[in-house]
């Protein structure tokens, strides 16, 4: 069985790991076998936004592009929130058009994210990467059709165990993002929390991968 790393910024080229490598339009690497590509809310550049979208629209049609993202909303960003909403809306509609899943970065804006998804009637899967919030928010997101992905915070915050165990097995993924933890370490702890073997966990996430990224 293979490991699936939902979100990473570093391609490690290991045979037993399928990695969804994050890319940005202006730093595109055509040599990656699986990637997501999107305009991050912290890196919106109005001077090149049109160019970024042109690149995004080209790359999203390629078979190596498994998802749009990471994109999203971040109230720490210097970019006006209304512009962030416009940029995210355009990416969500692009994802819906091409039936690509979306990897979301969200900080202090989950209510607005849920409202936007529902307003646009987005059907393609939307995945919240690096989830580390409270059970109430997790339930709201799950009830609204989102998937949750867990990474370094699962290892750093023991309080996430109960929340993680409450997420249905068909609605979660695991990732490393930019952390120094390996995907094997994250799977090992997740399997321990779920009281199953790593192989069983790999099968669960393989099923989720097929549902979200293959049999869309």
State how far the Cα of 112 lies from the Cα of 41, in Å rounded to an integer: 14
CA dihedral 130, 170, 122, 87 (to 10 degrees): 10
Mean pLDDT of 13-26: 96
* pLDDT above 70 (res 83): yes
Contact between residue 10 and residue 21 where contact means Cβ atoms under 8 Å apart: yes
pLDDT of residue 215: 76
Q: 196 pLDDT exceeds 70?
A: yes
CB contact at 8 A, 132 and 152: no
Q: pLDDT over 90 for what percent of the chain?
A: 97
pLDDT of 193 reads 98
pLDDT of residue 36: 98
Q: What strands, in cross-sheet order, belong to the sheet with 65-74?
A: 3-8, 17-23, 35-37, 65-74, 102-107, 126-128, 147-150, 172-174
* Averaged confidence pLDDT in the chain: 97
pLDDT tens readout for residues 175-193: 999 999 999 999 999 999 9
The answer to whether 155 and 185 are in contact (CB under 8 A) is yes
Average pLDDT, integer, range 210-214: 96
Expressed as residue numbers, the domain containing 195 is 3-214
The strand ranges marked E within 28-181 are 35-37, 65-74, 102-107, 126-128, 147-150, 172-174
Provide mean pLDDT across the span 146-151. Answer: 98
Q: In angstroms, what CA-CA distances link 126 with 6, 26, 99, 111?
A: 12, 23, 11, 14
pLDDT at 77 over 80: yes
pLDDT of residue 210: 97
Q: CB–CB of 179/11 below 8 Å? A: no
Checking if the pLDDT of 124 tops 90, the result is yes
Count of the separate structural domains present in the chain: 1
pLDDT value at residue 216: 62
CATH code for position 170: 3.20.20.140
């Amino acid at each position: 069985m293979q490991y699936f790393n939902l979100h990473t910024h570093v391609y490690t080229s290991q045979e037993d790991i399928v990695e969804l490598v994050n890319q940005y339009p202006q730093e595109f690497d055509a040599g990656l076998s699986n990637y997501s590509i999107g305009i991050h809310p912290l890196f919106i550049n109005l001077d090149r936004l049109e160019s970024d979208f042109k690149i995004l629209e080209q790359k999203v049609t390629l078979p190596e592009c498994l998802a749009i993202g990471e994109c999203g909303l971040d109230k720490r960003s210097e970019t006006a929130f209304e512009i962030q909403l416009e940029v995210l809306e355009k990416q969500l509609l692009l994802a819906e058009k091409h039936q690509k899943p979306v990897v979301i970065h969200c900080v202090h804006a989950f209510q607005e994210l849920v409202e936007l998804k529902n307003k646009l009637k987005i059907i393609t899967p939307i995945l919240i990467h690096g989830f580390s919030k409270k059970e109430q928010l997790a339930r709201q997101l799950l009830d609204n059709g989102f998937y949750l992905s867990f990474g370094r915070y699962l290892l750093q915050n023991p309080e996430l165990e109960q929340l993680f165990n409450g997420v249905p097995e068909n609605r979660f993924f695991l990732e490393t993002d930019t952390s120094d933890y390996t995907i094997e370490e994250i799977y090992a702890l997740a399997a321990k929390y779920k009281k199953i073997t790593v192989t069983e966990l790999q099968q669960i996430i393989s099923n989720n991968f097929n549902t979200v990224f293959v049999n869309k």
